[in-house]
Structure 1
Amino acid sequence: MNIRAKICGIGTPEAMQAALDGGARYVGLVFFPRSPRNVSIATAAELSRMVRTGTRVVGLFVDPADDMLADVLAQVPLDLIQLHGSETPERVAAIKARFALPVLKAVKVAEPADLDAARAFEGVADMLLFDAKPPRGALLPGGNGIRFDWSLLTGRRWDCPWMLSGGLDPDNVADAVRATGATAVDVSSGVEDAPGRKSPARIRAFLTAVAGIRGTA
C-alpha cells in the first residue's frame, strides 16, 4: 500500500528540498507565532515556490482569525488549511465556505472519548489528523514529540480520509502504520535536530521508511 507522508514545520530550503526529493505528498508551513517552527509569510512564499506538481502545500493555523488567513492566502498558494486549535465544526465550515479550500482538522487524542468527539467533524472537514493531546501546561498544541495509544484507532472506520501524527519518527513509523492501518502519516519533531530545526538527513530517513512499508491494513 502506498503510504502518503507529510513533513510539517518546514522552515528552510534545505528541508523543503529533502522533503520534495524524498517524495513527501504534503509539506507543512506553520503560521503560529509561539511555535519554533513558525515562518513569516515572506519565507513561506519563497518555500512554496519550490514545490512541484503532485505535492500539496499545507498551512497550519491555530484558531486563526479570518484576517490572518486572508493575509497568508494573498501571498502563499496553499492547497489545504490545517486547523490545529480548538476550532468547532461550525468554524471549520465557515473557513471552508469563505476561503474555498479543503480543511485538515487536527484532533488531539488521549482517550476513546476524544475519538468519539471527532465524529462531529465528519462531513465537515475534508481530512482528520489524529495527534497526541499535549501534556498539561504545554505551550504548543502539537509538535511535542509525544504519541498516543495507537490501539485506540483499532477497528474504527471514518467517513473521511485521516492522517496519523504524534511522536512519529523514522524508527517507529512502520510500526505505527501497521498498528493503526493509517494510509497517511505526519511528522514534525521526529525529523528535527532541535525544536524547529529540521534535519534533511532525518527527513530522508523518514520518507525512506515510509516508502518501505508493506503489508499494511
Structure 2
Amino acid sequence: MAKIKICGLTRTKDIMAVNEASPDYIGFVFAKSKRQVNYDTAKELKSYLDPKIKSVGVFVNEDIDNIATLCNEKIIDLVQLHGDETKEYIERLKMKISCQIIKAVRVKESQDIFKIHQMPCDYILLDAYHEDQYGGNGISFDWSLISIRNKPFFLAGGIHYGNIQKAIKETNPYCIDISSGVETDGLKDPEKIKEIVDLVRISAY
C-alpha cells in the first residue's frame, strides 16, 4: 500500500488538517521557499502534530549541524536532502543523526535515477527537473523513466487528486509526496488534504 506525505506545512491550521486526515508523513521546508519555516515555527507545529504522523525536514545544501539539531531535538523524524548533497555529505550527516535520510533527485533522464541509487540513503525521492529550482515546482516528469527500484522511493512533482491513482498504479511508489496538489490559492486546503488521503487509502483495497 502506498503511503502519502503532505509537504510544505506552515500553519497550525495545516497541522489540524493533517491530524484529521492522518497521512503517513508531513514535511517542513527549511530551504528557501514560499513554504519555508524556521526552527521556532517547526518546533511549535511539531508539538501539535499527532505522534503517529512522521515529520520530514526538507533541506537544500544545509549546514549539517543545523540538521542534527532539528533531529536530536525530535522536531523532525526524517531528513530530506533536496540539493547538491554528495555521498560524503550524507556519510558525515549519518555520523551525527539516527534519523533516516531521503535523497531527492530531479529526474531529467533515467541515468539520474541510476546515480541516486548509489547514494548511502534510506529512501530516494524522484521529482521533476527544473533548471532553476531544486523542487516544489508543481510539474510532473515522465514516469516511464523509473526502471531501477533498488530502494523504496517517494514520488513527487505535479501530483493531485486527478492523477494520484494513475501515479500509484504506474510507478508503485513507497510513498506519494504532495504539496501544491492540496492547496487553494497557495495555502493548504483541509478538504483537499482529507480527500486525497482518503483516496490513497481506498486505492489500497
Could you tell me the TM-score, scaled by structure 1's length? 0.88
Aligned partner of 1:173 in structure 2 is 164
Query: Are residues 114 and 13 of structure 1, via their aligned partners in 2, closer, same or farther at CA, if it must alter by over 3 Å?
Result: same
How do residues 25-36 of structure 1 correspond to structure 2 at under 5 angstroms?
25-32=24-31, 34-36=32-34
Cα RMSD (Å) of the superposition?
A: 1.7
Query: Are residues 77 and 177 of structure 1, via their aligned partners in 2, closer, same or farther at CA, if it must alter by over 3 Å?
Result: same
Aligned partner of 1:149 in structure 2 is 142
CA contact 1:81–1:103 (8 Å) conserved in 2 = yes
The answer to whether 1:194 aligns with 2:185 is: yes
Shift of 1:162: 1.3
Distance in 2 of aligned mates of 1:56 and 1:67: 21
TM-superposition CA deviations, 1:167-214 (whole Å, max 9, x none)? 11111110001011113110111111234x211121112212211214
Aligned partner of 2:86 in structure 1 is 88
Aligned partner of 1:164 in structure 2 is 155
TM-superposition CA deviations, 1:106-163 (whole Å, max 9, x none)? 1111211111211211xx10111111112x3x3x31110000101111x4321x3211
Query: What amino acid is the match of 2:123?
Result: M
Distance in 2 of aligned mates of 1:74 and 1:184: 25
Aligned partner of 1:205 in structure 2 is 195
Shift of 1:75: 5.0
Aligned partner of 1:110 in structure 2 is 108
Aligned partner of 1:24 in structure 2 is 23
Could you tell me the TM-score, scaled by structure 2's length? 0.93
Q: Residue 9 of structure 2 aligns to a residue in which SS? A: coil
Query: Are residues 68 and 194 of structure 1, via their aligned partners in 2, closer, same or farther at CA, if it must alter by over 3 Å?
Result: farther
The answer to whether 1:62 aligns with 2:88 is: no
Distance in 1 of aligned mates of 2:6 and 2:80: 13
Question: 5+ residue gaps in structure 1?
Answer: none
Query: What amino acid is the match of 1:30?
Result: V
Query: What amino acid is the match of 1:15?
Result: D
CA contact 1:15–1:203 (8 Å) conserved in 2 = no
Shift of 1:61: 0.7
TM-superposition CA deviations, 1:39-97 (whole Å, max 9, x none)? 12111111101222321111111010124324544655211111010111221111111
CA contact 2:9–2:28 (8 Å) conserved in 1 = yes
Seq. identity, %: 34
Distance in 1 of aligned mates of 2:19 and 2:75: 17
How many residues are matched?
A: 205
